[in-house]
Chains A and B, each alone.
Chain A
Amino acid sequence: MSKMVHITINGKVVSASEGEMLLAVIRREGIEIPALCHHEAVEPLGACRLCTVEITKEEWDGWSNFVTSCLYPVENDLIVSTHSPKVVQLRRTLVDLQLARCPNSPEIRQLAEEYGITKTSYEEIPDGDNCILCGLCTRICDQMGFAAISTIGRGHGKKVAPPLDEAPPDCVGCLSCALNCPTNVIEFTDAGNIRTIWDKQFELISCAKCGKKTITKEFAKALSESREIPMSYFEICDECHRKELVQTMGRIALWSREVVS
């Protein structure tokens, strides 16, 4: 049992477990703040800065600090303001800056509209794409154990790319990157039983029972090796597995009745 602490959020006193991050507590209270680079599966990064909140304590004599709630652990007697004027101004500026970077991204445009911005007040980046450099794709790929892609370069020219700009040797075509990208930048195609992503082609497994395409052979192999699951498991899709399970459970129930009677 971890120690409980008491903090004040927007005037309301709430309790939290020591060591919890502010963002989790704020969300638990039903308060919505954007956090584009946040994902439960990976360590918080503090890159997009949208989840910034203003914090203070009584003993700080009116001085306050601005911290990203995804990374700030709760402390007893912390006073948090999630929508103070400066915080809202910061969020508006950040969204404005993102819009300058990705003027054509529907997701960013929608977010900008929430702050009353239809066109960026800054200079649009020439030849920009819709990548907001939240790093979710690379972090999730690391978490999955593949580390196939990474960011290259630094500063304004930074971008996400496979190593040496070639088909990444460590990619298994699991789509974790593409499916979690907030702005749907990562392209992939499934055509027949071939999946193409990052200029690499993979063979999709067809379910031995119903023929539906499941995951790539490479992804299955990786899971099989790391989790010690036999490859044959992946030759059946999830639905057919469940159908099999229903039949098996049914058969067990019937056998039990026979034995009893």
Chain B
Amino acid sequence: MLVQTPQQLNDLHKQYLADEEKFAKKVLVCCGPGCLASGAAKIVDEFKKLLKKKRIKDFSVEALKETGCHGLCEQGPLVVIEPQGIFYTKVKAKHVEKIIETSIRKDEIVTDLLYTDPKTNQTIERYADISFYSHQHRIALRHLGKISQYDIRDYIAQGGYQALAKALTKMKPDDIIDEVTKSGLRGRGGAGFPAGRKWATCRRAEDQPHYVICNGDEGDPGAFMDRAIMEGNPHSVLEGMIICARAVGSEDGYIYVREEYPLAVQNLQLAIDQATEYGFLGENILGTDLSFDIKVSRGGGAFVCGESSALMKSVAGEVGEPRAKYVRSVLKGLFDKPTVLNNVESFANVPVIINEGGEKFASLGTPKSTGTKAFSLVGKVRNTGLIEVPMGTTLREIIYDIGGGIQNDRPFKAVQTGGPSGGCLPESKLDLPVDFDTLTEAGSMMGSGGMIVVDDRTCVVDLAKYFLGFLVDESCGKCTPCREGLYQLHRLAVKISEGEAAEEDLKKMEKLSEMVIIGSLCGLGKSGPNPFLSTIQYFRDEYLTHIRDKRCPAGVCRALIRYDVIAEKCDGCLACIEACAVHAITGKKGEVHVIDQDKCDKCGACYAVCTRDAIEVT
């Protein structure tokens, strides 16, 4: 099925659209990362089994689509019935038969599976009416949840590869770069470098050959936007890369996917095979002189390989040690040749920019941070999931209007953004607009889009200690400030969390942080102290309480807390005794249990399993 001309593509587009409209309805089962972890695969199997047996007018198993992440992961597994947009939540395999008989054979609703608005307590039938969705503007995530992850025909039916056709047949390479520059697209991986400028520099580079690499090493814990795009709409990434290849003059592309994302590797490879079959990759693409191939390069499991020079070493089969960036990788990158490296989300935006024009993209967001940004909103919010909003949306809107506020109505404490390179912002900063520059000025960073909300039961000392420990683990070990400096910062954070620190230790950490920032070779080290610095800026009192009072207000730091059974509430159900790994709890069935403080190691398992609210932490 070789597509040689734009006209042919257009015909296919119309044909595939018509194929879909054969069916009166569509069933979309979300198979994004969250829903998969909640059992979506079983739901798909059940649908397939039943639909093959049943006979329904204007419907067949072909109208079932396994889609990418629909967004509202907290309510998953999700099933959507189109064209009405009926939204079923927390679906289990046992519900499938009822859904088929009620909403597919007939036009009725299974009310038990609807979403309930926590503010009004009313159920909502269509996802478009849920505030989580109505506040969003999806560009990079545009087809997620709507098209099959596995079928290029869905992508073409939605207008896929039309941007490529336009770029190849109606535009010159410089026109493409102009459009991307006009759009103001800045690197979505977090660094925010203007994509148009990067592409232009590569294009002008005399050394050959040129390479195009997509950075799919989404290492920030808490972020899964790129994973969702790579799995749910891989063709959007491919299309963006091929357009880039035309712009900068490249024949070889790589998508570097981290080792922890095997499904993304599979879906991308499937997409590449299909795109090659259709002639969107390979030689003489769409009948032009552009030849471009994309290979999937798997990471080996190293957070540092998200850094561009380390990534390129990993693609070359070496250890992922970054090098000093005095010669930029756009001039000397992969194999020391000019290379454009852009993030998954950056490439996913490109087809839209080409189709609708750079100015339209730039009309969204803010003047310096144009367009939209995808975020993974996770942690202690009610509506955890994948969202996309125009740049400039405030933290408050995101966390409260879209996120639905804090779980269990606990008080908001902080929002952590930017992963291990970022920081925590407190309630007083909730009205800041989210973009590349504002959060950085406040001491944090927007980063790749991970947004973790924490409540009063999260200890910021523990959080800083966690991030420092993470970075010590992931440091490549080449340069002294990062390898030794972050190690010592972590040791000091441990000291604070164990109540063994003095106030000079805080000063020591602040001074050491400054040296690590100016001395480190790469971004991992340079931004490593940020989680500590931002928490000490806004939550200094919490650190001082650990130091002076040897107390952990959030009830987290093990050395400073104790667990006790509340005798009045305990009914002797034995759950905590079973959970206790060090046998520190005694008591017979039906009798009040007692925790032996000498044996207790404060792991918190008893607290977690108690359903009677009978254990307290102080």
Binds B, one of A150-158, A168-176, A191-199, A235-243: A150-158
Q: Mark B478-509, 1 if CB is under 8 A from A, else 0.
A: 11110111011001000000000000000010
Q: How far is the CA of A67 from the CA of B480 in the complex (A)?
A: 14
B327: nearest chain-A partner, CB-CB: A73
Decide if A154 touches B302 in the complex (CB within 8 Å). yes
Closest chain B residue to A87 by CB distance?
Answer: B518
- Assembled-state Cα–Cα distance A11/B276 (Å): 60
Is B282 interfacial (CB 8 A cutoff)? Answer: no
B503 CB to nearest A CB, Å: 15
Q: Is the CB of A97 within 8 A of B480?
A: yes
A17 within 8 A of B: no
CB of A161 within 8 A of chain B? no
A94 interface hit (Cβ, 8 Å): yes
Whole-angstrom distance between the alpha carbons of A135 and B477 in the complex? 11
The residue of chain B having its C-beta at the shortest distance from the C-beta of A122 within the complex is: B488
* Interface of chain A residues 56 through 115 with chain B (CB within 8 A): 66-68, 71-73, 86, 89-90, 93-94, 97-98, 100-101
CB neighbours (8 Å) of B560 from chain A are none
For B488, the chain A residues whose CB sits under 8 A away are: 97, 100, 122-123
B521 and chain A: residue at smallest CB distance = A46
B512 surroundings in chain A (CB, below 8 A): 93
The answer to whether A71 and B326 have CB atoms under 8 Å apart is: yes
A101 to B483, CA, bound (A): 11
User: At the interface, yes or no: B582 with Cβ under 8 Å from chain A?
Assistant: no
Residues in B with CB closer than 8 Å to A147 are none
Interface string of B521-561 (1 = CB under 8 A from A): 10000000000000000000000000000000000000000
- Are A93 and B515 in contact, CB atoms less than 8 angstroms apart? yes
Query: Which listed residue (A47, A122, A123, A153) contacts B479, Cβ 8 A?
Result: A47
Least CB distance, B482 to chain A, in whole angstroms? 9
The CB with the most chain A CB atoms within 10 A, among B324, B511, B520, is that of B324
Taking CB atoms and an 8 Å cut-off, the chain B residues in 90-136 that contact chain A are none
Closest B residue to A92 by CB, please name it: B515
Q: Are A72 and B326 in contact, with the CB atoms below 8 A?
A: yes
Cβ of A130: which chain B residues have Cβ within 8 Å of it?
Answer: none
A52 at the interface (CB under 8 A from B): yes
Instruction: Assign chain A's interface to a size class.
Output: 20 to 34
A138 CB, nearest partner CB in chain B, Å: 11
B485: chain A residues at CB < 8 Å are 93, 97
**Is A184 interfacial (CB 8 A cutoff)?**
no
Contacts of A116-159 to chain B: CB distance below 8 A: 121-123, 132-133, 135, 151, 153-158
Are A155's CB and B474's CB within 8 A?
yes
**Smallest Cβ-Cβ distance to B471: which chain A residue:** A155
B-side contacts of A158, CB under 8 Å: 477, 483
CB closest chain-B residue, reference A49: B519
Residues from chain B with a CB closer than 8 A to the CB of A68 are: 324, 521
Within 8 Å of chain B (Cβ to Cβ): is A48? yes
A43 to chain B, nearest CB (A): 10
Q: Tell me if B45 counts as interface (CB < 8 A to partner A).
A: no
B480 pairs with A155, CB closer than 8 A: no
In the complex, are the beta carbons of A133 and B483 less than 8 A apart? yes
**A48 contacts which chain B residues (CB < 8 A)?**
479-480
Contact of B476 among A71, A98, A101, A155 (CB under 8 A): A155
Is B475 interfacial (CB 8 A cutoff)?
yes
Within the complex, the shortest CB–CB distance from A27 to chain B, in Å, comes to 19
In the bound assembly, the distance between CA atoms of A94 and B481 in angstroms comes to 7
* Pairwise interchain contact B491-A123, C-beta atoms closer than 8 A: yes
Interface centre among B475, B511, B518 (most CB of A within 10 A): B518
Query: 1/0 per residue B254-268: CB within 8 Å of A?
Result: 000000000000000
Do the beta carbons of B326 and A73 come within 8 Å of each other?
A: yes
Q: Which residue of B lies closest to A89 (CB)?
A: B515
Q: How far is the CA of A154 from the CA of B478 in the complex (A)?
A: 8
Q: Taking A89-B515, A121-B508 as contacts, is the C-beta distance between A155 and B326 under 8 angstroms?
A: no
Chain B residues lying within 8 Å of A135, measured Cβ to Cβ, are 478
In the complex, A45 has a CB within 8 A of chain B: yes
Bound complex: CA A97 to CA B484 (Å): 6
A156-B302 CB under 8 A given contacts A49-B519, A90-B519: no
* Any A CB within 8 A of the CB of B391: no
Which residues on the A side are within 8 Å of B511 (C-beta)?
93
CB distance from B488 to the nearest CB of A (A): 4
Are A155 and B483 interface neighbours, CB within 8 A? yes
- 0 or 1 for each of B296-327: is its CB under 8 Å from A? (1 = yes): 00000010100000000000000100011010
Verify A156–B519 contact, CB threshold 8 A: no
Complex A-B: 17 CB contacts under 8 Å: A46-B479, A48-B479, A49-B479, A49-B521, A68-B324, A90-B518, A93-B481, A94-B481, A97-B480, A97-B484, A98-B480, A100-B488, A101-B484, A123-B491, A153-B477, A155-B472, A156-B477
Given A72-B324, A94-B481, A97-B485: 20 more A-B contacts, CB < 8 Å: A45-B478, A46-B323, A49-B479, A49-B519, A90-B481, A90-B519, A93-B485, A93-B511, A93-B512, A94-B480, A94-B519, A97-B484, A100-B484, A101-B484, A122-B488, A132-B480, A153-B477, A155-B472, A155-B474, A158-B477
Going nearest first, the 7 A-B pairs with the smallest beta carbon separation are A158-B477, A97-B484, A93-B515, A155-B475, A66-B518, A122-B488, A155-B477
| Residues in B lying within 8 Å of A, measured CB to CB | 302, 304, 319, 323-324, 326, 472-481, 483-485, 487-488, 491, 508, 511-512, 515, 518-521
